[in-house]
Amino acid sequence: MSVANAGDPPADARRDRDDAQVDAVIAWVDGSDPAHRERLARTLAALGIQRPATATPTRFDDAGEIDYCIASIVRHAPWVRRIHVVTDAQVPPVLRRIAGTPLAAKVRLVDHREIFAGFEQCLPTFNSRAICSMLWRIPGLAERYIYFNDDMSLLRPVQAEDFFRDGKVVARGSWRRQSHAGLGGRAAAAWKRRFAGGAQRDTERAAQELSARMAGFEREYYRIRHVPYPFRRSTLEAYFAGHPDALARDLAHPFRRPGQFRAECLAAHLEIASGHAVQDNSLRVVQLKPREQAAWRLRGKLAGADRDPATAFACVQSIDEASAPMRAAIFAWLDRRIGRPGEILSG
Q: What is the bridge-based pairing of β-strands 311-316 and 152-154?
A: antiparallel
283 within some domain = yes
Pick left, alpha or beta for residue 173 (phi over 0 → left; psi -120 to 50 → alpha; otherwise beta): left
263 within some domain = yes
Domain count for the chain: 1
- Answer yes or no: are the C-beta atoms of 24 and 82 closer than 8 Å: yes
164-200 core/surface letters (b: 16 or more CB in 10 A; e: else): beeebbbbbbeebebbeeeeebeebbeebeeeeeeee
258 within some domain = yes
Q: Which of 59-63, 193-197, 317-321 has the highest mean pLDDT?
A: 317-321
- If 0-12 CB within 10 Å is exposed, 13-18 middle and 19+ buried, where does residue 125 land? buried
163 within some domain = yes
The number of C-alpha atoms within 13 Å of 67 and in the hemisphere containing its C-beta is: 19
197 within some domain = no
- Residue 135's SS3 state is helix
Cross-strand partners of 153: 314
Q: Residue 58 pLDDT > 90, yes or no?
A: no
Instruction: Report residue 54's pLDDT band, with 50, 70 and 90 as the boundaries.
Output: confident
* Residues 89, 1: Cα–Cα separation, whole Å: 35
Q: Residue 189 pLDDT > 90, yes or no?
A: no
In the chain, the amino acid numbered 81 is: R
* Residues 310, 324: Cα–Cα separation, whole Å: 29
Least confident span in 165-169, 194-198, 305-309, 329-333: 194-198
- Residue 220's SS3 state is strand
237 within some domain = yes
- If 0-12 CB within 10 Å is exposed, 13-18 middle and 19+ buried, where does residue 93 land? exposed
Least confident span in 62-66, 107-111, 229-233: 62-66
Looking at residue 57, its pLDDT comes to 61
- Answer yes or no: are the C-beta atoms of 304 and 196 closer than 8 Å: no
Tell whether pTM > 0.85. yes
* Residues 116, 235: Cα–Cα separation, whole Å: 18
Q: Which helix (H) or strand (E) holds 294?
A: none
Looking at residue 13, its pLDDT comes to 41
Return the closest-CA partner of residue 178 out of 212, 151, 145. Answer: 212
Looking at residue 187, its pLDDT comes to 54
* Residues 148, 85: Cα–Cα separation, whole Å: 10
Q: Which helix (H) or strand (E) holds 169?
A: strand 168-171
In the chain, the amino acid numbered 49 is: I
* Residues 328, 325: Cα–Cα separation, whole Å: 5
CATH for 249: 3.90.550
* pLDDT tens digits, one per residue of 154-166: 999 999 999 999 9
Instruction: Give the mean pLDDT of 304-312.
Output: 98
Instruction: Give the mean pLDDT of 233-251.
Output: 97
Q: Residue 272 pLDDT > 90, yes or no?
A: yes
Q: What is the bridge-based pairing of β-strands 168-171 and 277-279?
A: parallel
* Residues 324, 31: Cα–Cα separation, whole Å: 20
Strands of the 164-165 sheet, one edge to the other: 164-165, 168-171, 277-279
* Residues 137, 106: Cα–Cα separation, whole Å: 19
Instruction: Report residue 195's pLDDT band, with 50, 70 and 90 as the boundaries.
Output: very low
| Domain of 41, in residue numbers | 11-172+225-344
Q: What is the bridge-based pairing of β-strands 164-165 and 168-171?
A: antiparallel
4 within some domain = no
Q: Residue 3 pLDDT > 60, yes or no?
A: no
* pLDDT tens digits, one per residue of 315-335: 998 888 888 999 999 999 999
177 within some domain = no
* Residues 124, 90: Cα–Cα separation, whole Å: 13
Q: Name the CA radius of gyration of the chain, rounded.
A: 20
List of residues 6+ apart from 280 with CB closer than 8 A: 165, 170, 171, 172
Looking at residue 291, its pLDDT comes to 84
Mean pLDDT of all residues belonging to the chain: 88
Least confident span in 62-71, 117-126, 293-302: 62-71
